Amino acid sequence: MIEKKLKKAYLRSARSRMQIGIGLFVSICLCGLLVIGLSSYNFSESSNVSKIAPPKKVLRENDTKKIREEFKKTLQLYETEIEPRLQAAQIERWNPDAIFEISELKKKVMLNFSNGDYRIAIDNLQLLKSLTEANLEEADHIFEENLGKATSFLAEGLYVEAKFHIEKALSIYSQSPEALMLQQEIERLPYILPLLDGAKVARAEHDLQKEYDYLQQVIRIAPEHEVVNDRLTVLAGLIKRQKFEAHMSEGFVGIKERQAKETRYHYQAARKIDSKRAELSVLLDQLLELEKSLRVQQAVKQAEEAVRRDDWQQVKINFARAAEDEPENKTVIEGLRRANHVLGLRERFSQYFKNPYRLARADVRNEAEQMLVLAQAASSYSFAIKRQAEQLSEFMTKVNRFIPVTVISDNETYISVRSIGKVGLVLKKIIQLKPGRYTFEGARSGFKSKLVQAFIPYDQNHFSVQVICHEPI
């Protein structure tokens, strides 16, 4: 564009220079003739003068070219950098006189150039540049001032005032990203104000969570709201601290009321909020101690219930579980000792009951009597032991009493009882033997000897056995 303008101006200037050149040439010729006729200089001197003149003409053409190039560069700079800013500032909307003055001055600049008045054209171009920049500075000032006021009123929640000043700022630079963004924020203000009012009331009531919820709604509408974002950050910290302290407080209440489950819940919730707080270790230590105490308490309770059921195996299991947490607990130690004592007695009783006839032996009977003494104390808290002790005592009586045993023979067979004694030749004889297993031997001359195995039960009141050797040798 600028090249076309300059080309037209250059053609007009060239025609003007050609006319001036022809006039100058005619004048020079006339002057030359006058000089030749009147001067006493010879031809060679005239020739020297004609040789000196051309460099002056070349120098002036070079200056003209330089001025033209300078003008072109300055004009290009103006039209590519300054003039677009002038258009963006929309000065015609708020200062039409200034834009008219600038337009007329530019026309004058182009006319100067087209007339070949390059130096004047450059001077006027500089004046045009200064005038334009002055108006741009004023536009910038108006824009920044109104943008600042719009921002301030937005921060104060004054919608009407903020809207007025942002519109005034946009009347200067309608495509300013900063102003357009601010305008969007201002247009959202009617929706935000009720939420901000709600947050304000919540803050006055010291309801941090309610205030936080209101401001969260604000951010969903206007995520760029820095003041609200800053307040949300503060609130998040306060709520976090408040929740942490509430959980810790409830946790210590749970310790006091021996509510381990609730205490652990509050401990874990507090730990999730801030795992680095020192108070957590204090609560945890007390919680672990409480849980241990409750485990022992529960185990002892279950052991006592097992005692009432006379289930001493379960008694031992529960006291052993309690001993894992409190090995020095006297109740637990005594409970384990008693459980082991009862279980030991029951095992020994069962051994006697497997073969009660052993009780007929003096050494075994003495051991059983000692065990009955040991079982006296246990009988007071174990019905099974009491019953077994009574049963053992009964066995001892029965296996140590003498039962009448009728020995029947043929009066020719000689009868004896191994390890007991002789019976002799009898047809029928009653002897006294304790319950148990016996071997009767029969012998007769000319006949094979005979052995008869007899088992006398402890629960019978009489018994009979026949021994006769009747098989000849």
| 467/411 Cα distance (integer angstroms) | 10
**Closest of 19, 46, 51 to residue 33, by C-alpha:** 46
User: Which one has a higher pLDDT value, 156 or 146?
Assistant: 146
Least confident of 61-70, 256-265, 318-327, 346-355: 61-70
Instruction: Give the pLDDT of residue 48.
Output: 37
Instruction: Give the pLDDT of residue 5.
Output: 42
Q: Which two tokens stand for residue 438?
A: 């016996």
User: Which one has a higher pLDDT value, 39 or 224?
Assistant: 224
CB atoms within 10 A of CB 66: 11
Name which CATH class applies to 290-400. mainly alpha
Instruction: Give the pLDDT of residue 60.
Output: 60
**Closest of 418, 443, 422, 439 to residue 431, by C-alpha:** 422
**Confidence check: pLDDT of 198 > 80:** yes
β partners of residue 428: 408
CB atoms within 10 A of CB 24: 11
| 295/289 Cα distance (integer angstroms) | 10
pLDDT in tens, 257-315: 999 999 999 999 999 999 999 999 999 999 999 999 999 999 999 999 999 999 999 99
Instruction: Give the pLDDT of residue 105.
Output: 87
Q: What is the mean pLDDT of residues 365-394?
A: 91
Instruction: Give the pLDDT of residue 324.
Output: 94
Whether CATH 2.102.10.10 fits 403-466:
no
**Confidence check: pLDDT of 464 > 90:** yes
**Closest of 286, 287, 472, 436 to residue 360, by C-alpha:** 436
- Mean pLDDT of all residues in the chain? 85
**Closest of 473, 433, 425 to residue 455, by C-alpha:** 433
β partners of residue 403: 433
Q: List the chain domain ranges.
A: 2-150, 188-277, 290-400, 403-466
